[in-house]
Amino acid sequence: MDLVARINTLLWTWIQSLRSVKRISLFFPFLLFALLQFGLLLLLIFFYLPPLSVLLIPLIRLFSMEGALHYPQFYFFMPGLFSQFNGWILNPLISWLFVGAATLMFAGWYRGGPVKTGPALGRAMKRALPLFTVGLAEWAVIRVVMLLFRHLSTSVLKWGAQSPRLFILAGFFIGIVFIVPFAYTSAEVVLRDRGIFGALRGSFGLARRNLGLTYLLFAVPSLILLAMNLFLQSAPIIVTRTSPTVIVVLLVFQIIMTAAVNFLIVGALTALYLRTTE
Amino acid sequence: MHWFRIDRRFPWLLVGMALAVSCARDEGLGDRYRAERLYYQTNKLYQTFQIDSRQLDAERSRLLRESFGRIIEEFPASSLQPSSGYTDDVRRELLTITGVSRLNIADLFLREGQVDSAIAAYRGIIAEYQDDPSIGSRAQYSLAMVYQGSGRWPEAVTAFETLLQDYPPFQETPQRPDENILSIPLYVASTFLDRGDSLSAGEYFQKARDYLSRVTAQWPETPTARLAQNQIVNTYMQQQRWPSAVSALERLMVMLEEGDDPPDALFVMAALYSDRLAEPDRALGIYEDMLQRYPDSERLSRALLAIGQLYFQQGDLPEARRFFGRVIEEYPQDPGTGAAAQYALALSYEFEGDWDKALNEFRWIVDNYPGTREAFTVPLYILEHYRRYGEEALAQSAYQQALRTYGDIVAGQPNTPSALQAQWHIAQSHIMMTSWEEAAEALELLVQTYPQSQQILPALMHLGEIYESHLDRTDRALGTYQMILKVAPTSPYAGIAAEQIDRLQEALP
């Protein structure tokens, strides 16, 4: 495919995804996941209440530092804590289910077939083992890459600690490189009933043939989330100048934006997958 | 998929875990967070009223007190004993939060004018926060100040004495002295002196020294001991017992750690010898010793300036100028001392009768040390010189120059302390040239532009005198004196203004 064709394909995938907005039920998997994230946010906000405090205080200490257990300093660390809890608990444990269900629903919509959340979730649950495993593999790879990147930039290149924003920016672009090979694993599992290794092989191959497209498909919509993430680095200033509640509002907004961006990405990925495989 | 079938025992496992979790403790960290949250939200509002107390009416004050009160209800002092189950750190933090909340409640009572309620609140804190000396001592100090503020000086003295008796003069460790507590003995004695009770003042100065000496003996070689010894020096200085002050300074010098810079105590000692004890040679010896022992110190500019001033006082002007020149050449990075040296240099030429050289040096200050106190005073000083010697043409020229210089400052730095001083100097320039209308105008402008400044009362007094004695405008004079009574009814100026008003009103037809 030449460059113009690739750009056309990229735009086409997003247009397909955006056209899907009129089918409200397609949002349900993302809304369900967003509800879980709201739940996580609430847990964090009320971490200090027993019996939550017994479980959450050690976790907050683990993911952050002792200073985060004070008010209002907790809200300085809250964006990072929310991201950590999301990244270490919600994402690896449950996001695979909603991505799998969403992929099925988008495929149904594009094919003119049924788009029901319940059956999609049920079907995704039936494919839980491969979905969970490939999701875990992707999660693990990203974690290792980011750890190595952090070590390299702080200890070796020594600019990571001096410029957190630059670190986040670089981490964003590098992270997507390692997400891209796994982009089509959910589709391979739920749409073509592939096993773990078959799904990985299929996804790697498809991503390799559509490398730039897939990268941009992830990166461009995610820029909104990157911007939010960078803004939330100023949490201490935001809390000091306004109030801790503003951080909560911003995180709620981030959850909603994440759902919207994931909708766009999954919709676009599914459209591209169907176009290239059918 | 069989591994998804939920085991029957799973719900009981969850219940068991929930019970285990609910029986576990979080070391009090959850409670501490809750207390911090309550405190932060209330204190944020309280601080805005501390900045602008005009917005704090009785209703808002009551709501704030209730809000702080909720913290105390949730965490009463009785629940914060060592046996409470909290870790020591958490318990101390909770004591601090609740203690500060109670202090704020007492402060709010005071702002509402409920002095008795404030006193009761402080007493309650003192009784219940014996475990937390930082809170207890603040309450005790505040109680003493409330007594003093409400005219109950004997009770204030008793409260101050209790503070010294019951609380250590440091925060947690003698390495962190509590300057407030250490300053109290001198404060009490000085207040007796200010009240005109010299007998009690003498007694309390001695009590202060006894207390401070005990501190230096009990915690030697600590910052607390050094600060206490410093206060002993201050007691002698207040009583103008200069030889004793010098002896106390010598003891302080022994306690101080050797550093790269000469300590303030040495400068004070030298100044006492030169200014109070009429022993300039000993002062000179101290300064010269400083030059030897601390050759690389930036503070030596002060020593060189002081040596120059000593020679100046002794009439050895060439030697004085040599040291002033050293300050200017060797310490260009210290414009404050440089300007003072340059000013003294100019004065030395004036004293020798060489006004041209002096004028040159004065102008050098304005050009090379702008913004310093000396540069500020130069235009007026030059004008005063010409007026003193009757050189009217030159005085007129100096007058115009002064007005230009000060006018530039007012225009270039409006509504700043420099502009206020410049406006005052403009008025002084007009007064010196007996331009009474212009002087009155300049003072009126000062009063209007800087109504909250400390200069306002002297300005109003001058203005009243100009209207009365030089412009024959009794009505304006009366209005000016009445403004003094309105602005500062309890100040010493008010008494003079009241007398002027009576005199003027008697003279009216």
The residues pairing with B177 across neighbouring beta strands, listed in sequence order, are B170
Residues 6+ apart with CB under 8 A from B240: B276
A90, A255 contact by CB (below 8 A) = no
Alpha helices by DSSP H, listed for B52-178, are 58-74, 88-111, 115-128, 133-149, 153-166
pLDDT cut 70: percent of chain B above it: 95
Q: Which two tokens stand for residue B372?
A: 């310093």
Q: Which CATH architecture has domain B258-369?
A: Alpha Horseshoe (1.25)
Whether residue B1 has pLDDT greater than 50: no
Phi, psi at B187, each rounded to 5° = -60, -45
Span A105-134, pLDDT tens digits: 999 999 988 788 999 999 999 999 999 999
The residues spanned by each domain of chain A are: 3-127+162-168+212-277
With the CA atoms of B359, B363, B365 and B366 taken in that order, what torsion angle do they form, in degrees rounded to the nearest 10? Answer: 140
Domain boundaries along the sequence of chain B: 258-369, 454-509
What b-and-e string marks burial along A75-105, b requiring 16 or more CB atoms within 10 Å of the CB? bbbbbbbbbbbbeeebbbeebbbbbbbbbbb
User: Rounded CA gap, B279 and B272, in Å?
Assistant: 9
Res B17: pLDDT: 64
Contacting A residues, span 114-143, partner chain B, CB-CB under 8 Å: 125-126, 128-129
Would you call A57 an interface residue with chain B, using a CB distance cutoff of 8 Å?
Answer: yes
For the residues A192-219, what does the mean pLDDT come to?
92
Q: B283-315, pLDDT tens digit by residue?
A: 999 999 999 999 999 999 999 999 999 999 999
Task: Say which DSSP state B83 is in.
Answer: G
Cβ contacts below 8 Å, chain A against chain B, sum to 50
The reported pLDDT for the residue numbered B53 is 74
3-state secondary structure of B488: coil
Which of B18, B29, B40 is closest, CB to CB, to A53? B29
Residues counted in chain A: 278
pLDDT band, residue B77 (cuts 50/70/90): confident
Across the interface, whether the CB atoms of A57 and B30 are under 8 A apart is answered yes
Which chain B residues have a beta carbon less than 8 Å from that of A66?
none
Average pLDDT score over residue span B316-335:
94
Q: How far is B42 from chain A (nearest CA, A)?
A: 12
Q: Residue range A178-183: average pLDDT?
A: 94
Contact across the interface for A71 and B37, Cβ inside 8 Å: yes
What does the pLDDT read at residue A28?
A: 94
Q: Which of B22, B26, B34 sits opposite A57 (nearest CB)?
A: B26
Minimal Cα–Cα distance from A224 to chain B, Å?
Answer: 32
**CA of A68: which chain B residue's CA is closest?**
B33
Q: Per-residue pLDDT tens for B149-203?
A: 999 999 999 999 999 999 999 988 999 999 999 999 999 999 999 999 999 999 9
The backbone torsions φ and ψ at residue B261, rounded to the nearest 5 degrees and listed phi first, read -120, 145
Q: State whether A50 and B30 contact (CB < 8 Å).
A: yes
> Rounded to two decimals, what is the model's pTM?
0.74
Average pLDDT, whole number, for chain A? 90
Torsion of CA B423, B424, B430, B435, to 10 degrees: 90
Q: Got the DSSP string for A65-120?
A: -GGGGSTTHHHHHHHHHHHHHIIIIIIIIIIHHHHHHHHHHHHHHHTT----HHHH
In this model, does residue B10 exceed pLDDT 70? no
Alpha-carbon span A133 to B372, nearest angstrom: 75
**Separation CA B477–CA A141 (nearest Å):** 87
Residue A54 touches partner B, C-beta closer than 8 Å:
yes
**Res B78: pLDDT:** 82
Using the Cβ of B22 and the Cβ atoms of chain A, whether some distance falls under 8 Å is answered with: yes
Please say if the pLDDT value at position B323 is more than 70.
Answer: yes
Distance between CA atoms of B414 and B402, rounded to whole angstroms? 18
